[in-house]
Amino acid sequence: MSKSFVVAVCGATGAVGQEMLKVLEQRDFPYSKLIPLASSRSAGKKVMCKGEEHTVVELTENSFDGVDLALFSAGGSTSEKFAPIAAKAGCVVVDNSSAWRMNDECPLVVPEVNPGDLDWHKGIIANPNCSTIQLMVALKPIHDEARIKRVVVSTYQAVSGSGQKAIEELENQVQRLMSGKPVVSDVYPHQIAFNCLPHIDVFMDNGYTKEEMKMVQETIKIMGDPTIKVTATCVRVPVFYSHSESVNIETEEKLTADDVRSLLAKSPGIIVEDFPEKKAYPMPIDAAGEDATYVGRIREDETIDNGINMWVVSDNIRKGAALNTVQIAETLIERDLVRVP
């Protein structure tokens, strides 16, 4: 990456925006200028990146003049309005909201899985849902080797996926319960502390939640195979960071558990942690703050001929949002797909 780029981070003061700045610094992303953008109420605040202080600027329709890359994490309505404006100004947008994921004109990309889809971008690239990203990283090597026919996934999703207020709600509920006080639920419809909620996002007419249908639709788009059957149950659990997933896979070709361990161990972005005799398996507390997708509890499903069960864990704010966004930007540069004025 010998070139330097003008990079804007939209939503720079939010949880994911702050993590994006960390990732840009840690990966020494080649920017010549960094422009942190946010709403008017955050304008004037200071953020740090690469040891330099940057002043947050209000996001407006003129924010993208001279910008090469814009990393968006400012919500769907903001992305719907400003991403096309940025693209029209000659800027390549990598958007972390759900606004553009199922748009046929926008690639939906996990760099370890489908980097080639970036070749047909038209200015806006979508970052997948956090729970989908870690699933794709784990499924891709298996699909390439034995072709996946069907996936059944149950998620155990951290409260950080709902934002800072949800993190605070869990903290407050735990404190109140330990003090013998009644809990207050604002973010979630029920108490989240010491509880599990089989309800993420709104319920659809088919009985699934929007989060569950995101996983179904995004998997098919990213894998580029409409014949893969996917069903999901998404559950919010009282964990601060890192989503966990129980994944059951049926393949066309037979793979043993050892085959899968070997495949995944040599695949980018994956760490296999599968030593049950040592009580070693992926846990959300260990994945928090880490780049990798961790896979363990790999075993054959003895109820079908070609079945595999596994447990997949990854930091939903890190790999599930900020890191994947920056990796997309890096891949755009590597493939010479950034339009530089």
Residues recognised as catalytic: 130, 243
What's the CA gap between 222 and 69, in Å, rounded?
Answer: 22
Q: What is the DSSP letter of 161?
A: G
Task: Please state, in angstroms and rounded to a whole number, the distance separating the CA atoms of residues 197 and 182.
Answer: 19
H helix intervals, the chain: 15-26, 76-88, 130-146, 164-178, 210-223, 257-265, 284-287, 324-334
CA-closest candidate to residue 57, choices 16, 11, 4, 25: 11
Token match 């996934």: residue?
Answer: 153
- CA dist 72 and 338 (Å) reads 16
- How far apart, in whole angstroms, are the C-alpha atoms of residue 202 and residue 38? 27
Q: Within 68-206, where are the H helices? A: 76-88, 130-146, 164-178
Q: Which two tokens stand for residue 314?
A: 């990854």
Give the rounded distance of the alpha carbon of 20 from its chain centre.
12
- Residue 114: HSE in the Cβ half-sphere, 13 Å Cα cutoff: 24
Give the integer Cα–Cα distance in Å for 17 and 59. Answer: 14
Q: What is the DSSP letter of 218?
A: H
Q: Within a 13 Å sphere around the CA of 188, how many CA atoms are in the beta-carbon half?
A: 29
What angle (nearest 5°) sits at the alpha carbon of residue 43, between those of residues 164 and 165? Answer: 10
* Residue 227 exposed, middle or buried by CB count within 10 Å (0-12, 13-18, 19+): exposed
